[in-house]
Amino acid sequence: MSGPACCDNPPGVSSGEESGQIKKIASLNSYVSGNPDSTLAVLLISDIYGYEAPKLRKIADKVAAAGYYVVVPDMFFGDPFIPKTNLQDWIKIHPAKPAVEFAKPVIAALKGKGISKVGAAGFCWGAKVVVELAKDASIQAAALLHPTFVTLDDIKEVKVPVAILGAEFDKESPPGVVKQFEAALQAKPEKIASLNSYVSGNPDSKLAVLLISDAYGYEAPKLRKIADKVAAAGYYVVVPDMFFGDPFIPKTNLHDWGDIHPAKPAVEFVKPLIHALKERGVTKIGAAGFCWGAKVVVELAKDADIQAAALLHPTFVTLDDIKEVKVPVAILAAEFDKISPPELVKQFEAALQAKPEVDHFVKIYPGVSHGWTVRYRDEDITSWKRAQEAHQDLLDWFGKCLQKAHSAL
């Protein structure tokens, strides 16, 4: 959300020393600079201070000097933000997302005059406009500079090459958010050891994390969001399709599906994947299992195929399983869970306390039900907050068991 940071260091008005001129393009007054016969154009979409900002026009002239025809449209129709007025009131009049419809006719006009390729750079407010253009390939390249209003879901929909230039000190798009954007851009489907997998993060990382899904499979959007979040912390994350294209379909018979996809034997699908990661140079692997996936992970943890484990609202996991664990394990459980109720989780904890050689972390999250970490509803504030808390605890756990151990080598 745009806030006080957007109002820092407002620009002065145009000095008149620019190289370009004002032209009307598709009903928008625009500052244009560069060779009008160029077949390459760049749109610069301003921040809230508008197209007259002198330094924005200097940037336009600099880009034009590299051979582009540059257009800086007046997206606010003569009504940029005025310092010391109410920013939120101004934003209500000038929302960024719908403004993409003002930019599209400009692009059409440029292509109509012989432009073959168009790039667009958006500054702050303008970054939201540019990311919308990048979703349907209206442009051929995008750049988002200290973006505002841009979300992770926006980034996942981008269809053209995109650059994101963020600031170290930015409350609107802090580095943690920008790293999530980067992880999402690195994410892609890939086949690893015969398993279709969603992968996210730096493939050259020496640290990997496997996320083993619940019955709903590896395509679940919130599971992939968790993968991107974990990847942003420096891991190469792999979410394998454990069901070979046959996840559980709601309103079908769960027990029949479970007979076809038993969790314990499925560990044999994962071991070749772990081997493939180690062949690539990965030195430490953590694994987190959600519901059904927790049984797979606890089996991996019994013979040290992995270096750290996390079981989130586990299903099928028994006390005997926990007693056999040989690697550090975290158990993240719900207060309201008939499958792994708090009483059972406390037995798990007692068994781990009797194994001082195995580091452990056990937490029961109040006010939530089975599956909440990956199937929370956004409108349910309690489950959303507890899910974010659990995701952070998961990151902290892997940070302790994988990153700190790795740096100690």
Q: Identify the pLDDT of residue 8.
A: 64
pLDDT tens per residue, range 47-102: 999 999 999 999 999 999 999 999 999 999 999 999 989 999 999 999 999 999 99
When pLDDT is cut at 50, 70 and 90, the band that residue 1 belongs to is very low
Q: What is the pLDDT of residue 188?
A: 78
Provide the sign of the torsion angle of the four alpha carbons 252, 254, 259, 261, taken in this order. positive
pLDDT value of residue 408: 54
What is the band of 186 on the pLDDT scale with cuts at 50, 70, 90?
confident
Q: What is the mean pLDDT of the chain?
A: 93
- Mean pLDDT score, 208-229: 96
Tell me, what's the pLDDT at 353? 98
pLDDT of res. 304: 78
Q: Average pLDDT of 157-161?
A: 94
- State the Cα–Cα distance between residues 35 and 166, nearest whole angstrom: 30
DSSP secondary structure of 123-152:
ETHHHHHHHHHHHTTSSSEEEEES-SS--H
18-32, 180-194, 202-216 — which is least confidently predicted?
180-194
CB 105 within 8 A of CB 71: no
Q: Is the pLDDT of residue 13 over 60?
A: no
- Which option is the CATH number for 4-181: 3.40.50.1820, 3.40.50.300, 1.40.20.10, 3.40.120.10? 3.40.50.1820
- Only one residue has tokens 């890939």, namely 190
Cα 409 to Cα 395: distance, rounded to the nearest angstrom: 20
Query: With 70 as the cut, is the pLDDT of residue 108 above it?
Result: yes
Domain ranges for the chain, please list them: 4-181, 188-398
Which of residues 138 and 369 earns the better pLDDT score? 369
239-271: pLDDT as tens digits:
999 999 999 999 899 999 999 999 999 999 999
Least confident of 12-16, 215-219, 313-317: 12-16
189 pLDDT band, cuts 50/70/90, is confident
Is 188-398 a CATH 3.90.700.10 domain?
no
- Give the integer Cα–Cα distance in Å for 66 and 263: 58
Both ends of the chain: CA-CA distance in Å?
42
Q: Contact 375/222 with Cβ under 8 angstroms?
A: yes
Mean pLDDT of the region 336-356:
97
**pLDDT over 70, % of the chain:** 95
How confident is the model at residue 5, as a pLDDT? Answer: 60
Q: Is this structure's pTM higher than 0.75?
A: no
Asked if residue 3 has pLDDT above 80, the reply is no
At residue 295, does pLDDT exceed 60?
Answer: yes
Q: Establish whether domains 4-181 and 188-398 are of one fold.
A: yes
